[in-house]
């Protein structure tokens, strides 16, 4: 029986580390570290920078492209102009919902059950992907997206699933890789790991992080994440996580490599970094006009081409607020109450003027950021925006709304899957 | 549109922390800290202690009860002697398996698919619970148990699910609580969070931990975990995790409180600690004779009673290796090849004498640690062991074996659920 003890004290050590031969890591880590030294906006001012949310303030979205669109070279046509063939999906922030008719507040257990129904419907309706956000706030139920995604994987058969976005800055990349590798195995290779710096700042105090490290946390953790997907046994050291000296990280995913997307808002350096790393790009557009992102997407493609990445590696996805109804008017009437509730509350807290229907209609107009309307309108808008941005590979409509009834959300998903997606695919 | 920015920078702050009024935490944290100061075995020797695996060396299992059974008072009958009414379940370490007939190596995707089938069958067969281990080794596929449990929750309707065990020492209790709260919501209140110090040591270098902190890591993280389940907003500080100053931890689980069990091996202080905290106890018995644990279980119950916890709070579960076949001989023949393979490999590496059938048969005999046999034999053994330990509430058979074919594992689960569990419940 003493043999049992031997099992207990055996250590799993990668063969490479036994031979003191570090694994080959394809990513040029020096490059990544150089990029961050130019991407920080804190400069030498000696105080903590404001966070750059993945969903940035409007003023930045509008102005930065003009300031920095030519960052890496003279203006000109994008090096990679694709036909607008767009995969259509849904993203969800799993927020608390109040039923607009009954006033019933949908609590977390019921909301998560609804969410799984929504994902199952998206799967059956032919949609390409479903993404889950990450928040650490009382009114959201998505603080543990890998857990939600696993339940979704177990209930679906074909739809791709992913994070939207995973707040990489606040998590251990080893745990995140283990979770997404396991998800990839359970889903049969249907996972996309979209990582970002996070659009809310409450992760920072909750996990003991300093906002002064906002960018270096992300850069360093992305570096380690990419090394982990390249090899199970990594030798690595950094500032924000204990060193690895060749320990094995298991299990390994079905997809090799596991797709890692970079979720960005309006920060030019983030677009350039994703391009230079040859990682697919997920752009969150929550304000302004989608066409204003063209110079930033161009920057991404130039940076990628300059680093030698083939055009097919440089995929572009858009994450936008949206909803599909039977008519434009019906869609707007369905979405407006939640929009109004949300912005009424905020305007009271902040002393802003109260929101109104005119502002809402402007945001959801033909050039606005909100993809709202009947299927024809959504198809037109997707086609036009894809063309304006030199081609996009994916668009995910984020339909979360605190006054959207479960049945209406299901109807929106079904219309997106059965009416919008096939027509966009056939374009 | 500037309103959008306001959403981004809003912070979720618990009402209590706004009022600078710390939440009431029922757990007496001073007590927990005092216990650990007496439970360390490193003494003042000035070097890192050997780890105390959750599955400890046999010599400790055999000898410690005699040394410490009277730790908290004179010998006598246990204060709480329950009728042997035992809930029966399965635990799984998700190891790589080689099919004994075909030689086919079951890789991680296939193994996880098999595992989910096993859990679905356990659910249908009437078993009470299914637990998933946590390992960070190449030959195991369970480094992310919350992800696996979520898939299991989505595929089952009544069986309880849990960790077996979650290596609390190596994880952030905030993340673990968020994951298990989400699991509890998805499963409709079917989760048990069994936490332990881990039976393997590779978590320590992988997550940058020092084995010298083996016990203080667990004590401190258990303290925080219990505070988090008591209140969403905790004010806390410790050595091994950044302080919390009232940030909210969401979502909240269905079960209030979320059941937190302490997984123990043979360390007396661990039994005493669980009792004094009034937490249910999961005892891993992997060697020796189950009856040798009676003094330790007695210690747990005395410690609990002394701390004022009612008998019904002091549940005892057993985690044992086991398998049920049509006959004792059939069960042994099914299990022996994997047992032999495992211990042949180890004996070669370590220079031990090779394992043989006689040793295997002794381990799985009437008083041995291995619950192996036909349904009658398992019922008898469960009944006898429950009686020897003054009543046990749960027994989970850990059936993982690297040469056990999927079909044979399914058959074992079915027999356990349909033949063993109902008869044990009726006793």
A249 min Cα distance to partner chain B (Å): 7
Is A251 an interface residue toward B (CB < 8 Å)? yes
The interface predicted TM-score (ipTM) is 0.84
Is B152 an interface residue toward A (CB < 8 Å)? yes
| Stretch 302-331 of chain A: residues touching chain B, C-beta under 8 Å | none
Domain that holds residue A170: 52-425
Q: How far apart are CA B232 and CA A271, in angstroms?
A: 37
Residue numbers in B near A347 (CB within 8 A)? 3
| Residues of chain B where predicted confidence (pLDDT) is lower than 70 | 1-84, 199
A78 min Cα distance to partner chain B (Å): 30
C-beta atoms of A248 and B138 within 8 A:
yes
Per residue in A329-363, pLDDT tens? 999 999 999 988 877 877 787 788 888 998 899 88
- The mean pLDDT value of chain A amounts to 83
Nearest to B202 among A181, A247, A350 (CB): A247
Among residues A415, A331, A364, A408, the alpha carbon closest in space to that of A97 is found at A408
Per residue in A281-323, pLDDT tens? 999 998 889 999 999 999 999 999 999 999 999 999 999 999 9
Is B335 an interface residue toward A (CB < 8 Å)? no
Say if A180 falls within a structural domain. yes
Are A153 and A187 in contact by the 8 Å Cβ rule? The answer is yes
Say if B211 falls within a structural domain. yes
Per residue in A274-290, pLDDT tens? 999 999 999 999 888 99
Say if B9 falls within a structural domain. no
Among residues B51, B409, B7, the alpha carbon closest in space to that of B217 is found at B51
C-beta atoms of A144 and B182 within 8 A:
yes
With cut-offs at 50, 70 and 90, classify the pLDDT of residue A14: low
Beta-ladder partners of B247: B13
Task: Give Cβ neighbours of residue A209 (< 8 Å, ≥ 6 apart).
Answer: A169, A170, A203, A217, B242
Percent of chain A with pLDDT over 90: 69
Per residue in A72-83, pLDDT tens? 333 444 445 444
Say if A18 falls within a structural domain. no
Q: How far apart are CA B333 and CA B335, in angstroms?
A: 6
B114 min Cα distance to partner chain A (Å): 10
A407 min Cα distance to partner chain B (Å): 20
pLDDT, position A332: 96
- Determine which of B182, B209, B344, B349 to mutate to test the interface with A (most A C-beta atoms within 10 Å): B182
A168 against B75, higher pLDDT: A168
Nearest to B57 among A5, A149, A205 (CB): A5
Instruction: Spell out where B76-159 has E strands.
Output: 87-92, 97-98, 105-106, 129-132
Supply the CATH number for residue A64's domain. 3.20.20.30
- Phi/psi at A308 (5° precision): 90, 15
Q: How far apart are CA B41 and CA B395, in angstroms?
A: 29
With cut-offs at 50, 70 and 90, classify the pLDDT of residue A198: confident
Instruction: Spell out where A61-150 has E strands.
Output: 87-92, 97-98, 105-106, 129-132
> Per the structure, how many domains does chain A have?
1
A397 min Cα distance to partner chain B (Å): 17
Query: Longest C-alpha distance within chain B, in Å?
Result: 78
- Determine which of B206, B256, B286 to mutate to test the interface with A (most A C-beta atoms within 10 Å): B206
Is A287 an interface residue toward B (CB < 8 Å)? yes
Nearest to A202 among B12, B178, B179 (CB): B12
Is A153 an interface residue toward B (CB < 8 Å)? yes
C-beta atoms of B12 and A155 within 8 A:
no
Say if B53 falls within a structural domain. yes
pLDDT, position A38: 37
Q: How far is CA B92 from the centre of its chain?
A: 11
B407 min Cα distance to partner chain A (Å): 20
Q: How far apart are CA B332 and CA B321, in angstroms?
A: 13
Q: How far apart are CA B308 and CA A130, in angstroms?
A: 50
Say if A358 falls within a structural domain. yes
Is B56 an interface residue toward A (CB < 8 Å)? yes
Residue numbers in A near B113 (CB within 8 A)? 186
> Which pTM was predicted?
0.84
Say if B240 falls within a structural domain. no
Are A230 and A260 in contact by the 8 Å Cβ rule? The answer is no
Q: How far apart are CA A297 and CA A287, in angstroms?
A: 16
The DSSP call for residue B24 is P
Say if A269 falls within a structural domain. yes
pLDDT, position A129: 98
């Amino acid at each position: 029986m003493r043999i049992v003890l031997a099992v207990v004290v055996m250590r799993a050590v990668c063969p490479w580390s036994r031979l003191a031969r570090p694994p080959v890591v394809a990513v040029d880590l020096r490059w990544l570290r150089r990029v961050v030294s130019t991407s920080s906006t804190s400069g030498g001012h000696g105080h903590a920078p404001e966070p750059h949310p993945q969903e940035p303030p409007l003023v930045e979205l509008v102005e930065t492209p003009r300031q920095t669109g030519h960052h890496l070279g003279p203006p000109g046509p994008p090096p990679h102009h694709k036909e607008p063939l767009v995969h259509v999906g849904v993203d969800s922030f799993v927020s608390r919902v109040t039923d607009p008719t009954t006033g019933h507040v949908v609590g977390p257990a019921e909301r998560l059950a609804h969410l799984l129904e929504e994902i199952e419907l998206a799967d059956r309706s032919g949609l390409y992907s479903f993404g889950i956000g990450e928040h650490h706030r009382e009114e959201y139920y998505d603080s543990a997206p890998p857990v939600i995604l696993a339940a979704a994987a177990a209930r679906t058969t074909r739809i791709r699933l992913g994070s939207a976005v995973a707040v990489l800055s606040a998590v251990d990349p080893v745990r995140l890789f283990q979770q997404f590798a396991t998800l990839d195995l359970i889903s049969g290779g249907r996972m996309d790991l979209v990582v970002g710096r996070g659009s809310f700042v409450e992760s920072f105090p909750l996990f003991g992080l300093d906002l002064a490290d906002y960018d270096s946390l992300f850069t360093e953790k992305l570096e380690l994440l990419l090394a982990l997907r390249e090899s199970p046994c990594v030798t690595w050291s950094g500032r924000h996580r204990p060193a690895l000296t060749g320990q094995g990280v298991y299990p390994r995913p079905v997809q090799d490599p596991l797709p890692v997307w970079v979720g960005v808002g309006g920060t030019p350096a983030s677009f350039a970094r994703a391009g230079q790393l040859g990682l697919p790009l997920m752009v969150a557009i929550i304000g302004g006009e989608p066409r204003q992102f063209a110079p930033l997407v161009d920057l991404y493609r130039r940076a990628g081409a300059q680093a030698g990445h083939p055009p097919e590696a440089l995929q572009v996805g858009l994450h936008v607020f949206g909803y599909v109804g039977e008519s434009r008017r019906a869609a707007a009437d369905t979405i407006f109450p939640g929009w109004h509730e949300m912005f009424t509350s905020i305007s009271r807290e902040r002393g802003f003027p109260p929101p109104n229907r005119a502002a809402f209609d402007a945001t959801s107009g033909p050039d606005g950021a909100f993809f709202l309307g009947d299927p024809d309108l959504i198809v037109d808008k997707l086609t036009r925006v894809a063309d304006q941005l030199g081609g996009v590979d994916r668009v995910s409509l984020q339909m979360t709304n605190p006054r959207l009834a479960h049945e209406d959300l299901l109807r929106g998903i079904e219309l997106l899957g059965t009416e919008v997606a096939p027509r966009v695919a056939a374009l």
